[in-house]
Structure 1
Amino acid sequence: MEISVGNQQVDYSQDPDLVIDFFFESACSQPMARRSSAASLYDAAELLLKEAANEQVKAKTLYESIRGLSVVHCTPEEQKTIRNYLSFSSVGFFLVALALENLLKELVLLKELAMRKKDSNSGGSDINHHDLKKLAKTAKMDLSSEEENLLKDMEQLTTWYGRYPIPRKPEDYKKYFKNGPPTNRFLKEEDVFSLELPFPSELEQFFDRVLKEIDREAPGDGGLDTQQ
């Protein structure tokens, strides 16, 4: 069976790997696929963070009642409440960070597609990493100092927090040991039970900014709504 691959006809039965390689390369350079993944991750994060919000008041009350003591002084059900709040929030923010990473990579790819229409020899950028600040810069976003700090903290979420028990790099562990988890930037008070949930306004605003940039490159693409 012959199918079109680029500008040539390829016999799939004779060379299946060539066809698979072509479709793999095409999928890797397809911006809209990133938006679909981002939407799925964002929706899943929303469910988890809403559950964290539901557990927040109970968890905070328990925390204040045992201040200075270990959670072993709580009943199993109370321990579960605290555990649910911590796990739902950490994994929820991890998924939010992955959604943001996908959107930034989509923005990079869209801008590179636009450049290729003007210059067919225009090369592609390396986006196979989790450095959100670098991705935003590659996408030609002009970041404020607050946005740069936000992306540095969100990068910690993409690389380990909510995903692994400790970071891979010793310097990241030192930062965590000194400053606490990266989600602490979203605290409304001093304790870990005062996260701004389900979505911190600072984070929503940056998502909206990225989506507007994407919409300028690909009007009407849709696929992700942060105003639910």
Structure 2
Amino acid sequence: MRIRDSLHHQTYIEHSKSILYAADENLELLKSFMDSRDQDSRVKTLGLYRSTMILYAVSLELILKARALYEERDWLLSQKKPTFKEFLARWNGNKTGHDFFRIVDHYKIDISKEDRELLENFKEFTGWAGRYPYPKDDLAVQKMEKEGRNLGSAGLRFKNRAHEFIKREVEIMDKN
């Protein structure tokens, strides 16, 4: 028996890398608008910033899901026809499948302080920040209205860290 392609960690690795490359290209486009001062350029910059952040966030989410699928190989092989929903239920991802740290904690993935900072920087963009101007939680909205919307950083430092994190995870999964 073999693992279904839709639940194979290599499928998620490839998708993570493809989204990562798109994020890199988007970041370059974002940089080209950073110094513009007119209103139209400001709106373009905002859109490019959000789309860049969501692309990096999704790439990181996909590599973590790849790692979770890798850790679940034996379970996947033991099931007749497992579904993605059943996989999510294994780590309680059916409640919020976008929670980086739920995967990290459940599978005891060893991450450094810098890795945690990287994931913290992008975590809001898998939930709401890439799609909506404010979160659903009214207390969070009130805080943001009072203190401002500090939603993470796009830049070379996080680009490089994302690449390093994904490369390390792939190396772990490629060992076996």
Judge conservation of contact 1:104–1:139 (CA < 8 Å) in 2. Answer: no
Residue-pair matches, total: 163
Deviations 1:29-67 (A, max 9, x none): 211111222122222222221111011122xxx3xxxxx
- Whether the aligned pair in 1 keeps the contact of 2:128 and 2:135 (CA below 8 Å) is yes
Is the 8 Å Cα contact of residues 60 and 162 (structure 2) preserved in structure 1? no
The answer as to whether partners of 2:70 and 2:173 remain within 8 angstroms in 1 is yes
Q: Does 1:157 align with 2:125?
A: yes
91, 107, 110: which one aligns with 1:125? 91
Question: Structure 1 residues 127, 33: closer, same or farther in 2, change over 3 A?
Answer: farther
Amino acid at match of 1:142: D
Residue 49 (structure 1) aligns with: 27
* Unmatched 5+ stretches in structure 1: 1-5, 8-24, 63-77, 187-195, 221-228
Say if 1:36 and 1:158 are closer, same or farther in 2 by CA, change over 3 A: same
Contact 1:107–1:213, Cα closer than 8 Å, also in 2: yes
AA of the residue aligned to 2:19: L
- Alignment counterpart, residue 176 of structure 1, candidates 125, 129, 144: 144
TM-score by length of 1: 0.60
RMSD: 3.1
- Rg larger in structure: 1
- For 2:4, give the aligned amino acid: S
Partner SS, residue 45 of structure 2: helix
Considering fraction of residues, name the structure with more helix: 2
Unaligned runs of at least 5 residues, structure 2 = 80-86
Aligned partner letter, 1:53: K
* Residues in 2 aligned to 1:164 and 1:85: alpha-carbon distance in whole angstroms: 16
Aligned partner of 1:140 in structure 2 is 108
